[in-house]
Amino acid sequence: MKKLIILVLVSTFVYAQDKDILSNTKKQIIDLKQKQIEQKQKKNKYDWITDITINGAVNKDDKDIESKDYSISLSQDIFRFGGISSQIQYAKELKKLEQLDLKKDTKSDLNDLYSSLIDIKIDEIKLEQNILNLQNSQIDVEHKKSEYDNGEIGITDLNDAIMTRNNLSDSQKQIELSKLENEKNINLYTTRNYKQIVIPTIKMISKKFFLEKSTSVNYAKINTKVNKQLYNIKKSDYLPKLSVDARYGYSKTDIIEGDDSYKYGLSISMPLSYTSNNDIEQKRLDYLISKQELNDEIVKAKVTYEKAILNIKNYEDRIKLAKQDIKLYSQLLQVNQDEYNAGYKTIDDVTTIKNSMKIRQLDIKTYKLNIKKQILNLYFAIN
């Protein structure tokens, strides 16, 4: 329990820090929506209170006698078979739902921002890798050309090497474009330079914690409560209700002094509607659907977490493979370096192996960034 509380506090703190990264426009939209939710909650909470009606009229008859009539009246329900308490509870649950929805949208923006930032870093690594691959490809083209000139290989082998180099040159442009697009994506959410933004370090979230704090699951839970209250309200709409009625009036004419009157009392009323059962059934079905949607969201949350774990495990396995390759390249590099120093190998052999080892080292950086991306995706999916 203590660990869970700490995780919640850390999550809340990091979220508050992250939210500050958003542009002023985004933050103003969030603040305005929050105020809108507060106002809506107050309106819904007291929606059962009837308005006071004030009337005033001035008339003249055929004898040119002027009369003035004023009145104030009220007809207020005081009992609706649970309808009033359900209305108050509905306002409370709806506020929670809309606040969670706002937080969900904000976290979605933050997730997109950090995902784009990670993608930029991955693109930068890909550009570095592509340059190394181009160097290796150029060495291969020169070797193939020499072999072709000596009649050792056919034109097809040389052409394949040239096409590989050309494809890498084309990939360079595509990666550069991808990086620029991701930079533009970040501008949708913040005015800060992406180089000044630090990606938060979040520890892996346990499955239990993720399911308990999943935004989609908790949203579905609250939505079920909202629909339950709407169902209760609708049922009460077609049951007898007890109201307090009161009216005060004042009348005056040119020939009669002003006179006031008042009346008050209790009244019981009940609507009779041909479609009442259909109306109530519709709300009941909304409630039942929301309960099933909750079960569906729980399944989706489990799958989301399990898929993230699979991806993380896959990247961890690829890191292990990359480390094995680096170890092998390191051994080959030492051998080729010694043979080059002895005059048995060319510098091209040393350069090719060195570049290949660097490429695998950069692969590990990419895999680690993708792991961080998976963890952030989970973090921004909790409230």
Whole domain around residue 144: which residue ranges? 18-239+282-379
DSSP lists the bridge partners of residue 251 as: 69, 259
Show the low-confidence residues of the chain (pLDDT under 70).
Answer: 1-17, 254
151 in any annotated domain = yes
* Residue 4: per-residue pLDDT: 47
Q: How many domains does the chain have?
A: 1
pLDDT for the residue 95 = 96
Q: How far apart are CA 93 and CA 231, in angstroms?
A: 13
The predicted pLDDT at position 49 comes to 86
Question: What is the rounded radius of gyration, in angstroms, for the C-alpha atoms of the chain?
Answer: 36
Assigned domain for 234 exists: yes
Domain contains 273: no
DSSP letter string, 310-323: HHHHHHHHHHHHHH
> For position 13, what pLDDT does the model report?
46
In a domain, 142, yes or no: yes
Residue 50 lies in a domain: yes
Within-domain flag for 250: no
Q: State pLDDT tens for residues 294-319.
A: 999 999 999 999 999 999 999 999 99
Strand partners, 267: 243
Q: Smallest Cα–Cα separation from 38: which of 92, 106, 101, 107?
A: 92
pLDDT of residue 11: 53
Q: What is the CATH number of the domain that holds 209?
A: 1.20.1600.10
Residue 288 counted as domain residue: yes
pLDDT at 128: 97
| 79, HSE (Cβ side, Cα atoms, 13 Å) | 7
DSSP state of 226: H
Does residue 182 sit within a domain? yes
Q: Measured on CA atoms in the order 358, 363, 366, 372, is the torsion positive or negative?
A: negative
Q: Which long-range contacts (CB under 8 A, 24 or more apart) does 247-251 make?
A: 247/71, 247/72, 247/73, 247/74, 248/71, 248/72, 248/73, 249/69, 249/70, 249/71, 249/72, 250/69, 250/70, 250/71, 251/67, 251/68, 251/69, 251/70
What phi, psi does 150 have (nearest 5°)?
-90, 0
